[in-house]
Amino acid sequence: MDVIWITLVVLGLLNIFVSVFLCKRDDLELVQKVAQVIIVWIVPVFGAFGLWWFHHGQDIDVRKASKPEFGGGTGGSSSSYSGSGD
């Protein structure tokens, strides 16, 4: 019986954590936040892990895109310069 209560408490804490995580996001509209929090509470394990993983993956892509490599440029792929010298 104790295992069931511990499992319920852990799932409840996970749902609370992901609900707060979703509510703090600036890139979601209010309707999206409400819908995703409802999904987290209706489908506790898969909803919480799935939505957290989805948004966490997007955050990683945004961090990579915000730090361009030094020098920039085209990388030589679209340049019309031939470089042959003659």
Closest residue by Cα to residue 52 from 14, 12, 7, 26: 14
Average pLDDT over residues 67-82: 57
Q: What is the pLDDT of residues 13-42, one digit of tens each?
A: 988 998 999 999 888 899 999 998 988 888
Domain ranges of the chain: 2-65
Closest residue by Cα to residue 25 from 54, 66, 67: 54
